[in-house]
Amino acid sequence: AQSSVTVFGAIDLAIAHYKGEGTGSKTHLVPGGNQNNRIGVRGREDLGGGLYAWFELEAGYSPDTGTGLNSNNNNQETGLVNTGGALTFNRRSLVAIGGGWGELRFGRDYVPSFWPLYIYDPFRTGVGFGGVTILGSTVTNLRASNSIGYFTPGCDPYLCRGLFAQVMIAFGENPSGTPQEDNGKVAGLRVGYATPTWEASIAQSRTRNDTVREFTQTSGGGAVEAGFARLMVLAGENRTGRPVAALNNGTRAPFWQLGALVYAGAGYVPIAYTRVSRNDPQDSHATKLAFGYVYNLSKRTALYTTYAHIENRNALALPVNVGADAGPAPLPGRSASGWDVGVRHTF
Amino acid sequence: AQSSVTVFGAIDLAIAHYKGEGTGSKTHLVPGGNQNNRIGVRGREDLGGGLYAWFELEAGYSPDTGTGLNSNNNNQETGLVNTGGALTFNRRSLVAIGGGWGELRFGRDYVPSFWPLYIYDPFRTGVGFGGVTILGSTVTNLRASNSIGYFTPGCDPYLCRGLFAQVMIAFGENPSGTPQEDNGKVAGLRVGYATPTWEASIAQSRTRNDTVREFTQTSGGGAVEAGFARLMVLAGENRTGRPVAALNNGTRAPFWQLGALVYAGAGYVPIAYTRVSRNDPQDSHATKLAFGYVYNLSKRTALYTTYAHIENRNALALPVNVGADAGPAPLPGRSASGWDVGVRHTF
Amino acid sequence: AQSSVTVFGAIDLAIAHYKGEGTGSKTHLVPGGNQNNRIGVRGREDLGGGLYAWFELEAGYSPDTGTGLNSNNNNQETGLVNTGGALTFNRRSLVAIGGGWGELRFGRDYVPSFWPLYIYDPFRTGVGFGGVTILGSTVTNLRASNSIGYFTPGCDPYLCRGLFAQVMIAFGENPSGTPQEDNGKVAGLRVGYATPTWEASIAQSRTRNDTVREFTQTSGGGAVEAGFARLMVLAGENRTGRPVAALNNGTRAPFWQLGALVYAGAGYVPIAYTRVSRNDPQDSHATKLAFGYVYNLSKRTALYTTYAHIENRNALALPVNVGADAGPAPLPGRSASGWDVGVRHTF
């Protein structure tokens, strides 16, 4: 029977070899070398008079094992929904109403400061992903639950045209009158300007977080279509209100990145150079160079390969990728590297 | 590609403010202010000669966080399937065979005594829901696992016409010869008469439950189409075999409710007045008044608002809603109230 | 809206009564008496030049309770993904690229030695399933995560024609240089020859497993279309590197089975006789006889009934079925039996 919804998703797996200097290597099947794995349903309804509604429920999963990913109930460190590897709509769960006045969204969605990190990175995921250098620390660096968002007209669903802005607030859902009343509250803003040939935007998201006091993610960047390539620049900073282990006992992790998608045949060469530092006691920093090739068999299916190398200095020991398949972290101040060869199919 | 199944569901989120007298308030994003959130697949096959088969797999979820809801393995207090917030087909999981002789259902389904509580309540969920006053105590007050059900002809899938009856038995699935042999066994019956303009029905479900000895849910009511409104009356009782905390150390929670859906423009005003009591040592009782407005943007999408106030007397301390988003329970004998403004979209 | 994917599945529930001699009986609703319950999405894309891609994400579930099933992260005893009963794509999660040269698969898939156990068994699941006698012991006796598979041309997706072969390797995903470096590594092979009227194949899968040292599953068999029936023979062995409780403190569980699907009216009579032994200290063995009837109401919907009896000798105490709904294990050396009556619907 015909549904009013579309089932959509991506399945992406790569054979990968990652190593950390002084700590060994790992050969494994990694999910999401080119695109993060997801399966979801979405639908849109025209309500007349320019008004519309849409929704999206999107679950992340790991196709190497068939398992799902966690969500967070309250944007707090304690709010992790530990499903032990079962499916949730952790990536997105929202309903929206929109019209000529813009769009209101309710539910779980990306924080505004995530979008520059995504839009101006040529890799976006996998071993080439520059965000490896700053992500991974707190609960709202990608998404927030219990959120209300507003987008100015023309964002579909996150790529905008002209002068645009996005605002998000999200609830921590604590009872009033408790010391933790504000824990998990999120507020974020993104503003930018985009044309078909160039765009630029900046964003910031702040989360009240009793563990790190306040988590502030700032990001900004731009992109230019140069004919032979799409050139990108990206910069940002993760900041906490007190020193945390995830930032190597610092409170700030600033970074910048130069990237490009160089068109080549039936595909493109993604390339990025990233530099991140920490205001930790050792004044640590790291640089990452990544490049690859994505060969499109069709609009939906691609073969790809990636190589990345990260040089840590002082106390930093960043592995070459993030998450469950990060690969071995090197000894502090040493390098890590990795390659993958994979297939990505969207549906 | 075309499937033989339909993907269906509802996504409903509201901004809500609930408070409990003497205990504070909470502003949050609540799921299901107008309709409980679900996503499922269903299908139906014509087998010829009037025979047919259908199935439904329906998962509840919380769109504010993207997380799922639990099921129960054996209709026992110990049978909770604690998925930690991941998706299960907790709402419904059944296959049915039907024909001119009626319909047989196998799997997880609603107990017969649930239906009057649903059909004759103008709110059915959210802060206006009158069932707040009696539900929430035991594992089979909504659904039973391991069930076999029979419906007389003409019920599709629960709304019936003419003189009708529904029977359910469900297994606790304990080995024979153990003291708990009957723990989790369910038996239920619903009988009624329905025409397009009025209907009435009564139901009872009994569960052998080693914690409370036996849980008996009785419900009954009726509805009349009065042109300007649909008028409803509902009454029932939850009874346990021994005093339990969930019934405030009583064994009986009788209640009655008057409700209506008053048609108004492109929508309707739901309104309900509920009175519940407990045979607890303090002879406690409570009354609840709720009203709202549901504005239909289309058949599938609505905006709504609700206000509800509950007056507790003696030892009762009912919050204004049930479940994970119940809001603060007031001090015993005090009031609780709440409002919401939300959007509901079905697909 | 139209999707590029198909939602598919099966729902199968039966009323069953199982007993174990000396230990009692159990009447329950059992899932999968005729076909294992699943829900999934799959899709296929033609890439031109004979090249194609396909994927499948398939979740097992128990429709009696609406709950899901576990997967395994690393093909190791410790890698169980304990979701507490929530949904995962535990049955299958793979993406494949194929062409005139065969097909490559990546993800979670069946091990090669599973296929003869499936193809040459007239029951495949439920109380009649002969595999009851050998399965249930280790993590890779059905499927492996993190796998790479190759199939010769003409297998769609597992039934092949002509001379064919299948190879699988799977990663345990341990860091190099650790004592457990090889734990969870899988290698498997299946070779066979098939025509429309007869076929034969053999297979073996080996898993490095630190608990049992090495787990080796060997299987082989054949089938002939005899007009009135499909006749089948099946034999195999599960072997471990050290004595394990799951093999009754033996290291080898060889078995053989004769089976048939006898065509009868709008259905067929499945029948199987199985003999299994253990090289345990008591030199135990067991025989199982199972038969039933499957009545097809349509291609998608069937009613069925099954009876099975198992005779244990010496220390063996096999129940009549496997898994969560196995029924009571008899006293050692005694018999177990069971029947079911159910309905199966595919979609």
pLDDT digits (tens, 9 = 90+) for B111-128: 999 999 999 999 999 999
Residue C117: its H or E element: helix C114-119
% of chain C beyond a pLDDT of 90: 80
Q: Is A66 on the interface with C (CB under 8 A)?
A: yes
Please give the full DSSP string across C92-105, using - where no structure is assigned.
EEEEEEEETTEEEE
In a domain, C70, yes or no: yes
In a domain, A1, yes or no: no
Determine which of C2, C82, C150, C173 to mutate to test the interface with A (most A C-beta atoms within 10 Å): C173
d(CA B138, CA A347): 42
Mapped onto helix, strand or coil, the DSSP state of residue B297 is coil
Q: Which residues of chain A have pLDDT under 70?
A: 1-3, 132-137
Report in angstroms the alpha-carbon separations of B288 from B248, B280, B320, B343, C262: 18, 19, 8, 24, 65
Determine which of A51, A80, A87, A88 to mutate to test the interface with B (most B C-beta atoms within 10 Å): A88
Asked if pLDDT for residue B2 goes beyond 70, the answer is no
- Give the strand pairing for B6-20 and A24-31: unpaired
Give the tens place of pLDDT for each residue, B128-168.
988 755 655 578 999 999 999 999 998 988 889 999 999 99
Residue type, A150: Y
Nearest CA to B264 out of B224, B225, B221, B295 is that of B295
Q: Is C263 on the interface with A (CB under 8 A)?
A: no
* Candidates C7, C12, C13; nearest CB to B5: C7
Under an 8 A CB cutoff, do A89 and B83 touch?
Answer: no
Residue entry with tokens 């999968």: C32
What's the token pair of residue C169?
Answer: 């390797």
The number of residues making up chain A comes to 347
What's the token pair of residue C86?
Answer: 């929530």
Nearest CA to B246 out of B283, B291, B211, B199 is that of B211
Residue entry with tokens 């409570």: B286
Chain A residues lying within 8 Å of C53, measured CB to CB? 297-298, 300-301, 343, 345
Q: What is the ipTM of this complex?
A: 0.95
Instruction: Give the mean pLDDT of chain B.
Output: 93
* Candidates C1, C81, C94; nearest CB to A67: C81
Q: What are phi and psi of A158, to 5 degrees?
A: -135, -20
Under an 8 A CB cutoff, do B175 and C24 touch?
Answer: yes
In a domain, A155, yes or no: yes
Asked if pLDDT for residue B1 goes beyond 60, the answer is no
Number of CB atoms found within 10 A of residue A69's CB: 23
Give the tens place of pLDDT for each residue, C193-226.
999 999 999 999 999 988 888 999 999 999 999 9
In a domain, A69, yes or no: yes
Report in angstroms the alpha-carbon separations of B6 from A87, B207, B228, B249, C163: 20, 33, 34, 45, 40
C39: closest CA of chain B, how far (Å): 9
Under an 8 A CB cutoff, do B84 and C84 touch?
Answer: yes
Q: Which residues of chain C have pLDDT under 50?
A: 1
Under an 8 A CB cutoff, do A71 and B85 touch?
Answer: yes
In a domain, A282, yes or no: yes
CATH, residue B119: 2.40.160.10
Chain B residues lying within 8 Å of C342, measured CB to CB? 106
Under an 8 A CB cutoff, do C4 and A43 touch?
Answer: no
In a domain, C1, yes or no: no
Q: Is B145 on the interface with C (CB under 8 A)?
A: yes
- Which chains are within 8 Å of B by 3+ CB pairs? A, C
What's the token pair of residue A53?
Answer: 């509604």
Give the pLDDT of residue A325: 80
Mapped onto helix, strand or coil, the DSSP state of residue A322 is coil
What average pLDDT does the segment B94-106 reach? 97
Q: Is C150 on the interface with B (CB under 8 A)?
A: no
Under an 8 A CB cutoff, do A28 and C95 touch?
Answer: no
Please give the full DSSP string across A160-208, using - where no structure is assigned.
--EEEEEEEEE---PPTTSTTTTTT-EEEEEEEEE-SSEEEEEEEEEEE
Give the tens place of pLDDT for each residue, C75-101.
998 888 878 889 999 999 999 999 999
Under an 8 A CB cutoff, do C86 and B84 touch?
Answer: yes
A67: closest CA of chain C, how far (Å): 5
Residue numbers of the domain that contains C316: 6-346
Q: How many domains would you assign to chain B?
A: 1
pLDDT band at B105 (very low <50, low <70, confident <90, very high): very high
The beta strands (E) that lie in chain C are given as 6-20, 24-31, 38-48, 51-62, 67-68, 71-72, 80-81, 92-99, 102-110, 143-151, 162-170, 186-194, 198-209, 213-225, 229-244, 250-263, 267-277, 285-296, 301-313, 335-346
Instruction: Give the mean pLDDT of chain C.
Output: 93
Under an 8 A CB cutoff, do B301 and A2 touch?
Answer: no
Cβ pair B306, B123 in contact under 8 A: yes
Q: Is the bond preceding residue A254 a cis peptide, omega within 30 degrees?
A: no
Q: Is C264 on the interface with A (CB under 8 A)?
A: no
In a domain, B1, yes or no: no
Give the tens place of pLDDT for each residue, B259-312.
999 999 999 999 999 999 999 999 999 999 999 999 999 999 999 999 999 999
Q: Is B5 on the interface with A (CB under 8 A)?
A: yes
Asked if pLDDT for residue B3 goes beyond 70, the answer is no
Chain B residues lying within 8 Å of A180, measured CB to CB? none
d(CA B254, CA B234): 11
Give the pLDDT of residue A2: 54
Number of CB atoms found within 10 A of residue C243's CB: 14
Q: Is A5 on the interface with B (CB under 8 A)?
A: yes
